[in-house]
Structure 1
Amino acid sequence: MDRRSFLRTSALGGSAAAAATLAAPAYAQGQRTLTLVTTWGRGLAGVHDAAQRCADNITALTDGQLTIDLKAAGELVGAFEAFDAVTSGQADMYHGADYYFVGQHPGYAFFTAVPFGMTPQELINWYYHDGGHELHDELGQIFGLKSFLGGNTGAQAGGWFAKEITGPEDFNGLKFRMPGLGGKALGKLGASVQNLPGSEVYQALASGAIDGTEWIGPWADEKAGFQEITKIYYTAGFHEPGAGLSLATNRAVYDSLSPAHQKAIEVGAAEANQWNLAQFLTQNGAALKRLQGAGVQIKEFPDSVWDAFGEASQAVHDENLGDDLYKKIYDSAMASMKSSSAWIKTSSGAYTAQRDRVLG
């Protein structure tokens, strides 16, 4: 090869190498601290634990290369300001219940819970294997977020009331705390619905600012102290049959991370999702017994109330189905729920019914 051919070949090779270098994503190097804001007051049973679990998982999985600085509600921004803080870049991540953000888009409700929606198992079936996560991602792209499920409270209780509910008319004029689309459904029954952060609920109930509230379930509710105020507790609710919690990262921040660190966020959130559900379900049975021992009356809504819940909930969905993305999410979630439920009911559902009959 003559000198000119060698130089020409070398130049082409150098240009190709340079182009390959320029085309590679530029990932931030070295240790980084990401600020995580939450919709939870520090120490709120279960929900704050889920946020902390996500943070600790990510730090451990990256061997400390990503340190997550968790700020509870009110420490950097308010509970309901977490979404905007992350989309604006004021914070890097949030952990919370996405149904707090139905004002940004009503489709966010599906990634926490919708009335007469999915149980925890049905939710993760949809999310991980039936298109749910892809739809969460499609929604997040609108707002510059990359989101994953990062916790689950299990089925939530119907709530605490100052007086017994005997029919749908008892909700007319009732001042009741309930977020998300469930709250909108109660509004259709005449309730004055309040959307309060968890850390503010006890004081509102104690002061009479609200007549009743739902929060989570026996363990978290006992920790919150609602049994000190009222003794009427409905343990089955229509509004959150399996409430998912989300870990969302500013998409520009997420894209700046290496694939290994992105995977650490995904895996850390998924582990926290399962861990948190087990935490709630492990604690709730013993807590319910303690509440009963303290004089709490365990109630179930009559069928007439359940029927009214159903009609109101469908009316709320119908109001949102004109939005193409909402309809896409709704259709996907309902189809997945129907499919999952059919098998669960005929397999484990039949088994547990027989187990309870045989073992007593």
Structure 2
Amino acid sequence: MERRSFVQGAGLAGVLAAGIAPAVVQAQASLRWRLASSFPKSLDTIYGAAEVFAKKVGEMSGGKFQISVHSAGELMPAFGVVDGVQNATVEAAHTVPYYFFGKDPTFAIGAAIPFGLNSRQMSAWMYEGNGLKLMREFYANYNIINFPGGNTGAQMGGWFRKEVKTLADVKGLKFRIGGFAGKVIERLGGVPQNIPGGEIYQSLEKGTIDAAEWVGPYDDEKLGFAKVAPFYAYPGWWEGGPQVDLFINRKAYDGLSAEYKAIVEAASSHAHVDMQAKYDARNPAALKRLVAGGAKLFRFPKDMMDAAFKESMALYSELSASNPAWKKVYEDYAVFRRDQNLWFRFTEAGFDDFMQQQKL
């Protein structure tokens, strides 16, 4: 069979199996992209996922497709990356979609919404449900195609100067909280603040804010929050499984060869798994160190949790009535969430509940 005909007919998987992929890759043009991150380099888990992605793209392309990764503020502000990709200032970005709920609340569903999916459920909705299809239809309005690029797993509830003992303690609380969840905090009487990760410590230290959440023990320890706000809350009910995305300019992506598109897809899924593996492996030891250093753990009170759930569901109903894009995506998401919780109730939750009571 003629080599060109074989390659066209077999696709990437076929040529890999046949052992001729190196020649195919070498036939591709050299390419260099820039990727803008919303995170500081000091956070080697969440920022590092973009580097994992870029490294894998380089390896899989034999060094011909190079992506340089730039931390928040290097090319553009942390919250300017969607505009950067949309306007083709950069070819790609690595960010959390809910940062951009101000453009449209639908962005938040692509990351995490209060009392939403956990990380496994989110990946299932994206890859096997309608998640990727629906979110890509929405992101097309911004000249963007997205690829899952990480998940932190369920997050902690943040650092507080004073323990929250009742719902009343939320009134007037100036709370740095990421993205869409601030709308619920506001409905509870709090004052949400949307501040980039690299600026949170200074705001807490100066008393500009009363509390702040980021991700979990490993990152929070690096950021030093325990030094200025010793009370550490759980669970982060607004982030049961927040997905971090790779946003790619649609024209830049469409200009890639089929092989390079396959490489981007494979490298992003690798980074997606790698990020949560690192958080799950590193958070336990970090939590032990924080508690040994004086951090005081507390669980959010039930009246606060109940009120937050009620307000979240009311908010989603209001958005469905006023925002067609939200309604289309959320209706599918909600059905998927219902079925996932039914399944997890009998499997994951039952198993985890038993195991966590054992003294191993």
TM-score (norm 2): 0.89
Counterpart-to-counterpart distance in 2, 1:319 and 1:351: 36
- Tell me if the contact between 1:185 and 1:312 (Cα under 8 Å) persists in the aligned partners: yes
| 2:336 pairs with 1:318 | no
Structure 1 counterpart of 2:337, one-letter code: M
- Tell me if the contact between 2:79 and 2:99 (Cα under 8 Å) persists in the aligned partners: yes
Aligned match of 1:337: 337
Counterpart-to-counterpart distance in 2, 1:263 and 1:105: 30
Aligned match of 1:90: 89
Structure 1 counterpart of 2:143, one-letter code: G
Q: Deviations over 1:77-123 (max 9, x none)?
A: 00000000110011110000000111222111111100000100110
Structure 1 counterpart of 2:342, one-letter code: A
How far is 1:224 from its partner? 0.7
Aligned match of 2:35: 36
Aligned match of 1:266: 265
* Distance change (3 Å), C-alpha of 1:195 and 1:355: closer
How far is 1:192 from its partner? 1.5
Q: Which range moved further: 348-357 or 257-266?
A: 348-357
How far is 1:347 from its partner? 1.9
* Distance change (3 Å), C-alpha of 1:42 and 1:356: closer
SS in 1 for 2:67: strand
Counterpart-to-counterpart distance in 2, 1:166 and 1:355: 28
Aligned match of 1:349: 349
SS in 2 for 1:105: coil
How far is 1:57 from its partner? 1.6
How far is 1:348 from its partner? 2.9
Counterpart-to-counterpart distance in 2, 1:153 and 1:259: 30
- Tell me if the contact between 2:145 and 2:249 (Cα under 8 Å) persists in the aligned partners: yes
Counterpart-to-counterpart distance in 2, 1:350 and 1:95: 35
Counterpart-to-counterpart distance in 2, 1:76 and 1:147: 20
Structure 2 counterpart of 1:276, one-letter code: M
Aligned match of 1:19: none
How far is 1:352 from its partner? 3.1
Counterpart-to-counterpart distance in 2, 1:114 and 1:317: 10
Specify every segment of 5 or more residues in structure 1 that has no aligned partner in the other structure, as ranges. Answer: 1-27
Counterpart-to-counterpart distance in 2, 1:212 and 1:358: 33
Percent identity between matched residues is: 33
How far is 1:318 from its partner? 2.5
How far is 1:29 from its partner? 5.5
Counterpart-to-counterpart distance in 2, 1:359 and 1:345: 23
Q: Deviations over 1:215-239 (max 9, x none)?
A: 0001110111101112100021211
Counterpart-to-counterpart distance in 1, 2:314 and 2:186: 11
Structure 2 counterpart of 1:183, one-letter code: G
Structure 2 counterpart of 1:55, one-letter code: A
Q: Deviations over 1:172-200 (max 9, x none)?
A: 11111012221110011121111011011
Aligned match of 1:139: 138
Structure 1 counterpart of 2:289, one-letter code: R
Specify every segment of 5 or more residues in structure 2 that has no aligned partner in the other structure, as ranges. Answer: 1-26
SS in 1 for 2:115: coil
Aligned match of 1:193: 192
* Distance change (3 Å), C-alpha of 1:251 and 1:232: same
Counterpart-to-counterpart distance in 1, 2:258 and 2:104: 29
How far is 1:341 from its partner? 2.1
- Tell me if the contact between 1:34 and 1:67 (Cα under 8 Å) persists in the aligned partners: yes
Counterpart-to-counterpart distance in 1, 2:41 and 2:58: 19
How far is 1:356 from its partner? 4.3
Matches within 5 A, 1:258-297: 258-297=257-296
* Distance change (3 Å), C-alpha of 1:157 and 1:311: same
Q: Deviations over 1:143-172 (max 9, x none)?
A: 111101101111111111111112122111
Structure 2 counterpart of 1:282, one-letter code: A
Counterpart-to-counterpart distance in 1, 2:357 and 2:71: 45
Aligned match of 2:220: 221
- Tell me if the contact between 1:99 and 1:112 (Cα under 8 Å) persists in the aligned partners: yes
Counterpart-to-counterpart distance in 1, 2:255 and 2:296: 53
Aligned length: 333
Aligned match of 2:205: 206
SS in 2 for 1:180: coil
SS in 1 for 2:63: coil
Q: Which range moved further: 195-204 or 313-322?
A: 313-322
How far is 1:353 from its partner? 3.1
- Tell me if the contact between 1:175 and 1:211 (Cα under 8 Å) persists in the aligned partners: yes
How far is 1:359 from its partner? 5.7
Q: Deviations over 1:1-30 (max 9, x none)?
A: xxxxxxxxxxxxxxxxxxxxxxxxxxx962
Structure 2 counterpart of 1:348, one-letter code: E
Structure 1 counterpart of 2:351, one-letter code: Y
SS in 1 for 2:146: strand
- Tell me if the contact between 2:114 and 2:240 (Cα under 8 Å) persists in the aligned partners: yes
Aligned match of 2:124: 125
How far is 1:208 from its partner? 0.7
Counterpart-to-counterpart distance in 2, 1:104 and 1:266: 26
- Tell me if the contact between 2:88 and 2:249 (Cα under 8 Å) persists in the aligned partners: yes
How far is 1:358 from its partner? 5.9
Matches within 5 A, 1:246-261: 246-261=245-260
Structure 1 counterpart of 2:134, one-letter code: L
Structure 1 counterpart of 2:328, one-letter code: K
